[in-house]
Chain A
Amino acid sequence: MNHFRTILSLSLLLVALYFLNSYTIKTEKANIPPLGKFLNPITGFWKNAENIETIKNESIQLKGLSAPVTVIYDEHMIPHIYAANEEDLYCAQGYVTARFRLWQMEIQTRAACGRVSEILGPKTLDFDRLKRRTGMKYGAEQTLAAIENNPQAKKLINAYTDGINQYIHSLNAANYPVEYKLLNYQPEDWTNLKTALLLKAMAENLTALEYDIEHTNALNMLGKTDFNLIYRDWWEEQDPIISKGTPFQKHINNAISNTADTLFSTNSNPIQSIENPIDKEEEDYMLGSNNWAIAGAKTKSGKPILANDPHLRLSLPSIWFQIHLSCPTYNASGASLPGAPGVISGFNDHIAWGVTNAGRDIRDWYKISFKDASMNEYLLDGKYQKTHKIVEQFKVKGQADFFDTIVFTHHGPVVYDRNFSEKQAMNLALRWTAHDVSEEMMTFYKLNKSKNIQDYFEAISHYSCPAQNFVFACKDGDIAIQQQGKFPIQRKDQGVFIQDGSLTSNDWKSYIPFEDNPHMVNPTRGFVSSANQHPTDTTYPYYYTGVFEYFRNRRINTELTRMSNIQLQDVEHLQLDNFNWMASECLPAMLNKLDKSHVNAKQQAIIEQLSAWKFYNEADSKAAVYYEIWEDTLEKIMWDEFMHTKYPVRFPEKITTLHFISTDQASIFYDIKKTEKVESLSDLIALSFTYASAKIASMPDQDWTSFKHTSIEHLAKIPALSIDYVACGGNKSIVNAISKYHGPSWRMIVEMTDDIHAVAIYPGGQSGNPGSKYYDNFVADWSQGKYYEIYHSSILNDMKKHASSILELKP
């Protein structure tokens, strides 16, 4: 009898413990972690609730250091690391970064190499497969091999990885970052490959904006004439990075003159891309960045000023981690990527540099003709070539392992084939510069240590992907910009469409030499700048294509031309500028063509507000809302042919829309297909205004910021860890490029005076821990356009006056 009760109570206890410690509750929306394990105050989330008051000085052992390292945290929790040599410096950078951002580092690299299903289960399997099929891991392995071949680079990356791992090994279940607890898994060791993967993830983030598949579909839909009308390479009002009229040189002379042998002429079946087309709302101008350098001739101090604000998806934890790295051979400060050593956008005692995305198309798709279903051989110039295959293993949470065979051709991996989806009618291989051996890490290492313009050019010569516009300013007065990356030499239209992969004549054969990449040094106009526009005018001796911006750059260049006697505060104002250049060209045309004779009182009020608007998307503007709704409506009815298409096509760019609004093109595109009538431009303007004013009347009265509703989401898109609303002006295509989910992810300005004066801010906080007050403490100041002074002294004792706490790392 007594034994029965013992057994009963023991069983109940074990069942309850199992349920509370190990049972994940699966719901439609999310998996709820085992409740006891997650909630308990001993090892659960409560452990991540940081004390908001005390910041203790600490002393910790870090094995492998050659000498003690001192880390000073300033009031913003920015670490200033002082080491005896570069290896110690990188080891400490790895350790300190991991302390703040471990989960972010791991999830970003896990996503890059297609290993998310290990923690989230089968729903992310297709995501993972596409990552491996596009060759992210393959490219990272190539890059890592190059890094590890260079003894110095290998030493440094090993030190960085070692620092991260020493932090990981110091953890127990109680102090894992809270996301591990929420998703119920454990951190794994960092590897050099993960650092390489992170750089490939950036490459994907910044270069996946190509439309070969969508263009091919559009070509089938429109025909060549209309295709060329809608998807133009160049509009004359563009103001390129290298000012118009600058002469170019061509250091190699290979005749690539035969016209592109694109697939469109032989293939009439458009293909269904597996990837869903991007939502209209965020298309085209999602990513971008601004940077510029102003020569001393235009500044009050007589010294150059450099500014950089990369626009990326806004996230918590932020993509950037601010850091200051100092040792006798090194004193660099700025934004780092958690998971990559060194500083990516920043300055040292001699120079400053910054980056914007080049936007050029360096991803091409090739149609592969296999001999048979085995996919062992494919056609090339009339003969069959052998493929090679890699079997990728996917661990899937709650399910048996999944195996996927990826076929490689000389172009690269066959991303879409019947292994991926049985519906796939066409086999498409991807050629992408991110697959190639590259040394991006060396570029940043060398930039961090550059002293002059020669060092800068040497540093960026190592850089291939993702292609960037590297802006430069030096204390000695030099300013420069170069669009740097590995660019294939292409025929006209090569890479715009899917190409026939069975002809070697379609292959990339050689690359534009480094010295021919667009660059400009100390121009007479007194500044260099880039904002994702075309790098050059049409006299550049090499063909290129890509996704380019037409508005921010013209505002920046107009302002920089106008300004003189410039101070750092003036540059802040330019970074925060909310002038809507697109609206300034588009709205007058819309208002002009609008028949105002039959408008009602409410519509009249809208027209009056719009007519009085000075085209600034300030947070409290109402006219900005009216314009946005009207322009969006007009665009949607004008390009009705491009909405809800059977196959994904690229929605026309804003610049094209602008041209079709401001000048009557006598085009069939004005016609709304579903109506009997053949509409004209005036009809569209009248109709869109009717729709838009009805929408405005039906909405609550809103200013621009509440209409735009900028959010900063947690990386796992968990609303409770995100910021739902940030009050701010700006928009895409505006210098202050804060849209709903994207914006200036880092704002930095550096004045190259003797004692460098630098300010910066980013929309996040240094800590990745949602239980820390440093998780999102910069956001309010960022949204209000404030900046923080960057302390950058190479002398430890000077920095101590800024210390809020000190961490000693002992060997």
Chain B
Amino acid sequence: MLFSNKILFVLYTLSVLLLSIIVPIWYAFILLLIFFSFLFSSKTTKAFLLGFGSVFCAWTILMLFKDFQNDSLLSARITHLFKLPSKWLLIFITAFIGAILGALSTWLGKNLKSSFGYIK
């Protein structure tokens, strides 16, 4: 165990955040998380949770930042568009969508490690 879970979580989240700011491809984090998980993950559950949590957090931070700067002008309209009761649900659904992809990515990374990595 090279890193503690907390450190890995912070590393994953910050990396996803940074990548999102630099690369204008919304699913670019998938490759990053596969790679990270290939390097760092040992257990399926842990890999899954790290992927889920880090994207959930990174996306939530990005959305809150945008929403604050925008005084919720656009999120209110999109909430109305999707007939949602509150913008918080919109933010939650969005973060959840990212998180699912994140979890699948880290799970794949972990499995790749099991398939092709050095296994004791």
Contacts and interface: CB of A to CB of B under 8 A. Distances in A.
A664 to B, nearest CB: 52
Interface residues of B, number: 38
A67 interface: no
Contacts of A17: 27, 30, 101
Nearest to B27: A17
Interface in A1-36: 2-3, 5-6, 8-10, 12-13, 16-17, 20-21, 35-36
A51 interface: yes
Given A43-B26, A53-B69, A48 B74 contact: yes
A678 B111 CA distance: 88
Nearest to A15: B104
A720 interface: yes
Given A53-B69, A720-B78, A41 B59 contact: yes
Contacts of A8: 111
A42 B25 contact: yes
Contacts of B105: 13
A37 B26 CA distance: 7
B101 A46 contact: no
Contact of B115 (A6, A174, A772): A6
A319 B94 CA distance: 33
A114 interface: no
Interface in A159-184: 172-174, 178, 182
A10 B98 CA distance: 16
Contacts of A41: 20, 59, 62-63, 66, 94
Nearest to B94: A39
Given A36-B27, A720-B78, A49 B70 contact: yes
B7 interface: no
Contact of B77 (A43, A50, A173, A770): A770
Contact of A6 (B24, B59, B114): B114
A39 B93 contact: yes
B108 interface: yes
Contact of B20 (A10, A42, A771): A42
Nearest to B71: A52
A54 to B, nearest CB: 9
A719 interface: yes
Contacts of A178: 74
B4 to A, nearest CB: 25
Interface of chain A: mostly helix, strand, loop or mixed: helix
B15 interface: no
Nearest to B107: A9
Given A41-B20, A46-B62, A13 B30 contact: yes
Interface string A617-630: 00000000000000
The SS class assigned to the B binding surface is: helix
Contacts of B66: 41, 46-47, 49
Given A9-B111, A16-B100, A718-B81, A42 B73 contact: no
A39 B62 CA distance: 12
A5 B114 contact: yes
A49 B72 CA distance: 8
Given A5-B114, A41-B63, A46 B24 contact: no
A40 interface: yes
A485 to B, nearest CB: 40
A46 B24 CA distance: 13
Nearest to A1: B114
B104 A12 contact: yes
Nearest to B23: A42
A49 B20 contact: no
A713 to B, nearest CB: 14
Given A3-B115, A40-B94, A43-B26, 13 more contacts: A2-B115, A6-B108, A9-B107, A16-B101, A20-B97, A20-B101, A36-B101, A49-B69, A52-B69, A52-B73, A719-B80, A770-B77, A773-B73
Interface of A: 2-3, 5-6, 8-10, 12-13, 16-17, 20-21, 35-37, 39-53, 172-174, 178, 182, 718-721, 770-773, 775
Q: What 8 pairs between A and B have smallest CB-CB spacing?
A: A771-B74, A49-B70, A720-B81, A41-B62, A720-B80, A6-B111, A40-B26, A13-B104
6 contacts: A2-B114, A13-B105, A39-B94, A49-B69, A719-B81, A771-B70
